[in-house]
Amino acid sequence: MKVILIAGKSGVGKTKTAQILKKELEKRKQKVVITEYSKYIKLFAKEMLDWDGLEPKPRAFLQEMGSFIRENLHHKDLFIKRMLTDMEVYEKFMDIVIISDVRMPEEIIKIKEKYLEVITILVTKKDGDYLLSSKEKAHKTEHALDNYNDYNYVINNDDEEDLYDNVLEVMEDLL
């Protein structure tokens, strides 16, 4: 099983990049799933806030909940451990797993320790975080990867028309 990790700050196009990859890989008869480390935090938001799962995200709540779990409950690796358990299921049924919301170095490192075929993609965009408050922009999840540079690919999403072509270029290289 191949694992594709997509990293980047808020609003850069990580989900869109994952969707393009999935669509194109499925055209090539690959079984692909897109998943997220944040899916469990989002589940809390859906249950506790009656959030419908659509935009806009309750970002402040999601950031606060993630920090609370990692720091106050002493479950620093909870989301990584849950993902690794999920990966055991995906491994049985899927050819490729795309994790579309990598925000912390350990989320890359732990997956690379467990799986041989891991591709890392950083998505960048000038002004991607324009919808965030200054407090949300300052959150750890927006900066934890600032000094991490071990990516296989960097895709710039300043021009949405070029994004599709840039993703296709990476995808062809993956296959």
Greater confidence, 75 or 78? 78
Question: What is the domain extent for residue 142?
Answer: 2-174
pLDDT at 130: 67
* pLDDT tens digits along 87-124: 999 999 999 999 999 999 999 999 999 999 999 999 99
Task: Give the mean pLDDT of the chain.
Answer: 91
What DSSP string runs through the chain?
Answer: -EEEEEE--TTSSHHHHHHHHHHHHHHTT--EEEE-TTHHHHHHHHHHH---S-SSP-HHHHHHHHHIIIIISS-TTHHHHHHHHHHHHHHHH-SEEEEEEE-SHHHHHHHHHH-S-EEEEEEE-TTTTTTS-HHHHHSGGGTTTTT----SEEEE-SSHHHHHHHHHHHHHHH-
Domain count, the chain: 1
Domain of residue 44, CATH code: 3.40.50.300
pLDDT confidence tier of residue 175, bands split at 50, 70 and 90? confident
The structure's pTM equals: 0.92
Task: For residue 172, give Cα distances in angstroms to 29, 31, 110, 169.
Answer: 14, 16, 26, 5
The pLDDT of 14-29, averaged and rounded, is 96
pLDDT confidence tier of residue 129, bands split at 50, 70 and 90? low
